[in-house]
Every structure is written in C-alpha cells, then in structure tokens.
Amino acid sequence: MDRIFQDKIQNLKKQNLYRDQNSINERLSRQKELINFSSNDYLGLAEHSIAKIFNINSIDYSNSDSDSIKLMQIPFGSSGSRLTTGTHLEHKELEDCISNWKASKDTIVFSSGYLANLGALSALIDKEDVVFIDELAHSCMWDALRINNVRKYIFAHNDSQELKTLIQKYRHQYTNSFIITESVFSMDGDIAPLGDLKAIADEYSSFLYIDEAHSTGIYGITGAGLISEYKEKNPRQGFSNLIQMGTLSKAIGLEGGYISGSSFLIDFLRNKARTYVYSTASSPFLMKIAQHNIQKIIQGNDLRQKLFNNIKYLDSLLTNLQAKNEANIKNKFHWTNFGSPIFTIQFQDINECLTVSNKLLEKGFICTSIRPPTVKIARLRICISSKHSHNEILSFYKALSIALAV
C-alpha cells in the first residue's frame, strides 16, 4: 500500500514541486557557521534560551558536555516553518525518537494533536477516496474530513460488524480507503477492537488510521501505546497499512502531535500537510523536553504500575458505592470504566452534572463536566493519574458520594 504515496511523491517530483529534506539537513549540519536571512525572528527573541534570558555567561558552554548546560542553550523559538528555517536538530531527534518507540519507519511532528489530525487526514484523503469512521472519533478528525468534503460512512461506536457491512458494500467504489478510529476513546475511556479492525483493513485494502492520544505512554512494555501492545501480543502480524497518530499533550505532558508511518507516507505529509507546511515549527526546547519525557516513560514501568493500581482502586470504590445502592443516589449513578485512566459518571440532567462538579470543587477537587455537543450524554470525566495517592482517591470518592446524594 506504500506504493500509493510513493506514486504521489513521484508526481510531485515530476512537477518540480517536491520538497526534499536535503537542504534542511545540510543547514542543520552547518548551523553554527550560517547566518540566517530567512527567519521570521524580527527582533531576535526566538533565539532566547534559559542561558540567554538569565544572562548566564560565566559558563564556557562550548566545552561543556553537561546535559543541563546544553539544555539551557536550546532556543525557545523555532523562527520559521519546518520547510523554511524552523527545523532544528531537536525536531529531527524527536521524530527519530518517536519512530523508534512506535516501531515506525518515520514520524512527522506538528505543533498540536489537533493540527496533526487536521493536516494529515486532509492531505491523505482525496475526493475519489473513502473513509469509514467510528461515530465517536474526536472532533479534529471530523474537522479534517470536512475540509475536503470527503466521502464518509459512519459506523456505530466500536461496532466492527457494522464497519464490515459498510466496507463490504461501498469500498469497491473508491480508490483508497481509510478506517479511522481512536485506540482509547477520549470521552468514554473505552478501547477499540484493534484485532477486528486490522483484519477488516487487511481484507479490504484499507489504511487503518488510529489516534493514540490517550493510549500513548500507558500501554505496552515501553508505554508506546495500544498498537505497540497489540504488536507485542501478535509479533507475526505485519502492519504495513497502519497510520499512527499521537499527541505530546496527554501522558507526555507537553504540547504537540505527530503521525508515524511508512517513509513514503511521512515524506508525502512533509510536502502536503498544510498545518505542517504553513505553520511555525514547535519550540526546539519543547522538542528536547519531549524526548526527555519519552525516555522517562520508556523506563517508567513503575509509573504505569502505579497508574493501573490507582485505576483498580477507584474502580473498586465505585463498585462498592454502586453495590450499596443507597436509596438517595439510586437511579442517578451510572458510571463506566474500561480499564483505562478515564472514568465517566453520566447524568441525564445536565444541571445535575454541573451541580456535582461544583460541589466537588467546593471540597477541593477538580472534576470537569463534559456536556453536549461534545458528548451525547452529560458526564463527569474522571481521569486517574499515577501521581494520585490512595488517600487522595479515597477523599475524592468520599466527596463524590456526598455530592451525589440529594
């Protein structure tokens, strides 16, 4: 399936419209000797680093190997878009780091997850192509499809049977086909049936585009996400039609987004994803910290264990609360958890949802209510982290029990 993007790149080359990375690589290798006459850094502020801002001149940086001193010199601003002057070594290093982590050939970084989905999907899918998308896929993916007004068929949430029926019926009418979903759903915390989706994608020559925003950092031996966990369990299965999307904004703790996939696919996106080409590159400093955080995640099995332990703890408390089935909270308490860090408590009455959220705030707990149109049914979205102590979870649970009582 890689052939599709190889051909598209060939076409760009024929028209002399292909933007290769060679000039950028050349510039990076000679960074110190070059004087930039193409930057948007009109006042020279993008070059600011911790060392410059705090005027730390007493250290001979040039001779220092210390990581902290090197970090202090990395500029905050990129000064341009990735294809002009914005690419720094830190962008390249982060893209290599994510590719290795996600076992992908290549990766392209965007300044947010929203822009990654918007830019990638609007570049990859043409008018003659077709999309099969889960009804609960994140808004930014729907926005991307709107841009090109692409042909789409919507399957019921996580319903691979309905997906199969639709794809069987319509796939043959179109050139390329894309199945789009999330691995952990942002508002419900439930998990896509990856094995079934992969089998359908393989059978019907479709790309499988998976948003891993909420699974990256959490699943798999190194925390690379649910797809990595799936590959670990099914090492013999090839995954050449896979396109992985992720963010730096959830478990990685920063901001930014990325797409990992085959070399041709990523090369094509570097040429055609408009949110990459026409937007200022992310801060090089941030790119360095992202690498640091990913290394922490890779080595952070203890963090993941703590997280899953906390998830189990809150799950047991809520199960207990439901089992008590106290008269005063009867009929109002509908909660879900699917083993991910996201819990929901759903309310038919939006005001009630807001009231409970406010009561929790009064007691010192932030627990936001999510309302339509973001979701169909209003809910408290509870997110558990490895940072919570059991005491904090217990106090939260007690405040919640009181807030839920009439």
Binding site for ligand PLP (CB under 6 A): 112-114, 117, 138, 140, 182, 186, 211, 213-214, 247, 249, 257
Please answer whether residues 269 and 277 qualify as being in contact, where contact means their C-beta atoms are separated by less than 8 angstroms.
Answer: no
Closest distance to ligand PLP from the beta carbon of 138 (Å) = 4
Q: 341 preceded by cis ω (within 30°)?
A: no
Q: Which lies closer to ligand PLP via its Cβ, residue 113 or residue 317? A: 113
CA distance 208 to 213: 15
Under DSSP, the state recorded for 215 is: T
Q: Which lies closer to ligand PLP via its Cβ, residue 254 or residue 377? A: 254
Q: Which lies closer to ligand PLP via its Cβ, residue 90 or residue 212? A: 212
Q: What's the residue count for the chain?
A: 406
CA distance 304 to 289: 20
CA distance 111 to 101: 19
Q: Which lies closer to ligand PLP via its Cβ, residue 380 or residue 403? A: 380
Please answer whether residues 135 and 155 qualify as being in contact, where contact means their C-beta atoms are separated by less than 8 angstroms.
Answer: yes
Closest distance to ligand PLP from the beta carbon of 206 (Å) = 20
The type of residue at 392 is E
Closest distance to ligand PLP from the beta carbon of 173 (Å) = 29
Closest distance to ligand PLP from the beta carbon of 248 (Å) = 7
* Complete DSSP assignment for 54-71: TT--SS-GGG---HHHHH
The type of residue at 232 is E
Q: Which lies closer to ligand PLP via its Cβ, residue 192 or residue 399? A: 192
CA distance 5 to 126: 12
Which pair of tokens denotes residue 281? 């590159």
Please answer whether residues 340 and 189 qualify as being in contact, where contact means their C-beta atoms are separated by less than 8 angstroms.
Answer: yes
Residue closest to ligand PLP when measured from CB atoms: 113
Closest distance to ligand PLP from the beta carbon of 144 (Å) = 11
The type of residue at 218 is I
Closest distance to ligand PLP from the beta carbon of 377 (Å) = 18
Task: Residue 199: name the closest of 157, 244, 234 by CA.
Answer: 234
Q: Which lies closer to ligand PLP via its Cβ, residue 142 or residue 239? A: 142
Order of strands across the sheet that contains 130-134: 106-110, 257-261, 242-247, 206-211, 177-182, 130-134, 151-155
Q: Which lies closer to ligand PLP via its Cβ, residue 259 or residue 356? A: 259
Q: Which lies closer to ligand PLP via its Cβ, residue 106 or residue 211? A: 211
Closest distance to ligand PLP from the beta carbon of 187 (Å) = 8
Rg (CA), the chain: 23
- Rounded to a whole number, what is the distance in angstroms from the first to the last CA of the chain? 58
Closest distance to ligand PLP from the beta carbon of 247 (Å) = 4
